Amino acid sequence: VRESAYVCVCVFVPGCIQDSGSLVGQSEWSAYFPDCRGTSQSPIDVVTTQTKYDPSLIPLTPLGYSQHGNKPFTLYNNGHTAVIELPEWMGLGGLPWLFTAVQMHLHWGSGGPSHGGSEHTINGLSADAELHVVHYNSELYPNMSAAMTQRDGLAVLGILIVTGEETNLAFNSILNYLSRIRHADQKVPIPAFDIQSLLPKDLGRYYRYNGSLTTPPCYQSVIWTVFHERVQISKAQHGRSYLLVRLHRIFLHVFC
Ligand SMILES: [Zn+2]
């Protein structure tokens, strides 16, 4: 067993509570992080018959997503998932404030046959995976750590991913490099690419709600946008991403 088997996984946490290597499952999160007991927790099941059309919501505008420049992006395994740091000129318009991009990451779930990998579900149906693009409110707060505890501090895009026959070349810009970050804390530079190509085409139809980080410390600081349109990757592409998860799940013992 590698030394990192008992690594403390700090997904978003400024100060860390170390629990010496015991397994802290989702049911125990709230013992360590009171916010995980909150009433605005994510993810949610979107029940479309209970959603309300809000004419004040406008289409989201990704800012600079396609201007990736020549400097490589950094892809890393934070012990929980694969994360890509985003340059600070990328942001999001179409919300009451300007939001600056921080990072994006993927969720694959537990991957069992009866359990899809997405975090959000629509009418009880999960997708196979979910991409989250994380931004902070740069009009009101100086950085991510200041914003992440504040209501309206973060804006996260949720992109549901389903598997099909066709290969989605945009996702290869990430998937091609996952084998290089099989272990927690591994970091590799990857060629910069067009982030907008990962998003669905229709950015005008989405579900908006106020929710939280989906892992401890569960701060209820996120303006969520879950797009109605799903993006598709091939089964083979999904299989490659799942391989990474199985490997690094072995090392995921503690959330803190
Ligand atoms: Zn996430």
Question: Over 90: is that where the pLDDT of 89 sits?
Answer: yes
Q: Which of 68, 80, 107, 248 is catalytic?
A: 80
Q: Which residues are paired to 103 by β-bridges?
A: 85, 134
21 CA to middle of ligand 1, Å? 23
186 CA to middle of ligand 1, Å? 19
Question: Over 60: is that where the pLDDT of 245 sits?
Answer: no
What separation in angstroms does the CA of 58 have from each of 54, 95, 96? 9, 8, 10
User: Considering only 15-19, 65-69, 178-182, which range has the smallest mean pLDDT?
Assistant: 15-19
Quick one: pLDDT at residue 8? 28
The percentage of residues in the chain with a pLDDT greater than 90, rounded to a whole number, is 64
**Helix, coil or strand: residue 133:** strand
Tell me the average pLDDT across 61-82.
92
**Residue 80 bears catalytic tag:** yes
217 CA to middle of ligand 1, Å? 12
Quick one: pLDDT at residue 15? 30
Q: What is the CA radius of gyration of the chain?
A: 17
Tell me the average pLDDT across 96-111.
87
Quick one: pLDDT at residue 253? 33
Token pair listed for 71: 């400097």
For the chain, the domains span 4-244
Instruction: Dihedral sign for Cα 190, 194, 199, 200, please.
Output: negative
Tell me the average pLDDT across 167-174.
94
Protein fold of 4-244: Carbonic Anhydrase II (3.10.200)
119 CA to middle of ligand 1, Å? 8
Token pair listed for 90: 């990328």
- pLDDT, tens only, 118-133: 999 999 999 999 999 9
